[in-house]
Amino acid sequence: MANIIDGKAVSAQVKEDIRIETEKLKAQGIEIGLAVVIVGNDPASQVYVRNKEKACEAVGFNSYKYALPEETTEQELLALVDKLNNDDKVDGILVQLPLPKHLDDKMIINNIRPDKDVDAFHPVNVGKIMIGDYSFLPCTPAGVMELIKSTGTQIEGKECVVIGRSNIVGKPQAMLLLHQSGTVTICHSKTKDLKAVASRADILVAAVGRAKMITADYVKQGAVVIDVGMNRDENGKLCGDVDFESVKDKAGYITPVPGGVGPMTIAMLMKNTLTAGKDHHGVK
C-alpha cells in the first residue's frame, strides 16, 4: 500500500510559515495585499475565489475582491487591471480564469504587471521559468514540487514523466523537474505507447484531465504518483486522472483527490503574493 501524500497537511505548514513571516512584516509596518478579480457567475470560479479570500485571511494578507458583471467589456476590465497595477496597496493581482467568452484571457494577463502576476502566467514570468531565473512559479506545479519534497524523494537523476502539456501545468511542471536535474519526458495525446513510457517513471505527474485514465499498468512499482486531475466519475464523485484504487497498491507514494494537489495550489499563491510583497517593499 502506497504512502498517502497529505496535501492538506503540507499546505497547512506552508501557510503557517507565511503567516509567521507576515506577522513579522506587519511589525515593521508592511502589509501584503492580493487583489482578486472575477467576471461573471461561474460557480466553480466563485468557490475558488472564496477559498482564496479565506487563505488571505488565514495568513494575514489584505484581500481585495472585484466582482464584475458578466457583460463587463474588455476596456472596463483593462482599466481595472491598470488601476491595480498602479495601486501600492496591491502586491499581487489575480484575474480568475476562465473569463466570459467575449473577453480575451491572453490580452488581460499580458496587461498585468509581471511583478504583480502572482499566477506566473505573464510571458515575462513564463520566460523566466524557462531559464530558471524566476521570482514566481505557477501555483499548481510549484505545489507539486512541494509535495514531492515532502516525501523525501530526490529528483536528481530520476526518470520523471509528465502526462499533459498545458501551459498552466504540464510545460512548467516539466521545467521545474528539469531544474532539479530530473530526466524529464512530456507525454500527450499523440505519444506512442503511453503505458510503456509512463511505467518507466520514478516520478509520474498526471495532468491530463481524464477521469481515472492512469491505471496500475501505467505505474512503475514504488513510483511517486502525483495526480493533478480534478474530474467527476460516473457517479458524479470527485476524482483525479489516476485510478486511485488500482494504483495505490503499486505506487510508493500517491496523492489523493481531493486533498492532494488542490490545497497546495492556493498555498503557493499565498507564497507568490508574499514574495511579491517583499520585493515591492525591498525586504530580503
Q: Considering 91, 96, 248, 250, which one is annotated as catalytic?
A: 96
The alpha carbon of 280 is separated from its chain's Cα centroid by a whole number of angstroms, namely 22
Q: Considering 52, 116, 171, 248, which one is annotated as catalytic?
A: 52
* Residues 261, 283: Cα–Cα separation, whole Å: 30
Whether 162 contacts 194, CB under 8 Å: no
The CA radius of gyration of the chain, in Å to the nearest whole number, is: 19
- Active-site residue, 119 included: yes
- Active-site residue, 96 included: yes
**Could you tell me whether strands 238-239 and 231-232 are parallel, antiparallel, or unpaired per DSSP bridges?**
antiparallel
What single DSSP character describes residue 216?
G
- Active-site residue, 192 included: no
Q: Considering 91, 115, 119, 241, which one is annotated as catalytic?
A: 119
User: φ, ψ for residue 150 (rounded to 5)?
Assistant: -65, -20
Residue with cell 498552466: 168
Positions marked catalytic: 52, 96, 119
